[in-house]
Amino acid sequence: MVRIKICGVTTPEAARGAAEAGADAVGLNFYPQSPRFVSPQQAAGIVRALPAFIAPVGVFVGMQLRQVCAVAFQLGLRGVQTYDEQPPDDNTFPFAHVPAFRVKDRAGLDHVRRFVDTARALNREPSAVLIDSHVPGQMGGTGHVAPWNLLKGFDVGVPIILAGGLTPENVAEAIAVVRPWGVDVASGVESSPGVKDPDKVARFVKNVRTGSESVFT
Ligand SMILES: O=C(O)c1ccccc1NCC(=O)[C@H](O)[C@H](O)COP(=O)(O)O
């Protein structure tokens, strides 16, 4: 089964809608420049609205680990998605750590491998890595597709979450090519930046489920 994170939910209704559609996780974006930004206060309301067993994951760009952990503890996040060049000094924190990488070529994948190897040597293996597209000047939520063909057979010993430009229309093909452990979507299920479209979310989840059935069974 391919896990699904609907990233950048901005309201309790959108979070509940994603969960009811069958998503496994929702992303709460704490990057102030994102159209999907939520304050910790808004995020608290969203987390409270989630049904049991649906994981809230925080997206943190350029924030000190201490601050990331404080927000994650305060809100009861299950996972933290970060954007760092190096593994954190400490990850004894009780959240799944998902470093995100913006990849455009083989050198980008080599960087992911080095990051995971370094983290493993320090006994700080990430829970998964998120592979996104690389768009100069943008950290995420770009709607641009990642290099699927490069990712064929890519194995760093931790689960791969595929992100970048996924939509209800292309996600089954992405799964067939990359065979990821999980998929992540932000703009591909929106009617406008930061506003999730319930119909697109439902179709995305349905197409992940049918696409993964035909690939993994
Ligand atoms: O979504 C954002 O605005 C964003 C901004 C800065 C850093 C990360 C961001 N999103 C993180 C995600 O995990 C997105 O789901 C991922 O980048 C894919 O986005 P999209 O191509 O729009 O599906």
Pairing type for strands 195-196 and 190-192 reads antiparallel
Annotation says 132 is catalytic: yes
Specify whether 7 is catalytic: yes
* Dihedral angle over CA of 178, 123, 117, 130, nearest 10: 30
Mutation probe of ligand 1 site: the residue of 139, 169, 170 with most atoms within 8 A of C-beta: 139
Q: What is the ipTM of this complex?
A: 0.98
Tokens (6 digits) for 6: 């609907």
Q: Closest ligand 1 atom, CA of 138?
A: 6
128 lies in which domain range? 3-216
- Please give the tally of structural domains in the chain: 1
Per-residue confidence in pLDDT tens, the chain, 217 aa: 999 999 999 999 999 999 999 999 999 999 999 999 999 999 999 999 999 999 999 999 999 999 999 999 999 999 999 999 998 877 678 999 999 999 999 999 999 999 999 999 988 899 999 999 999 999 999 999 999 999 999 999 999 999 999 999 999 999 999 999 999 999 999 999 999 999 999 999 999 999 998 787 6
Whichever domain contains 183, its CATH number is: 3.20.20.70
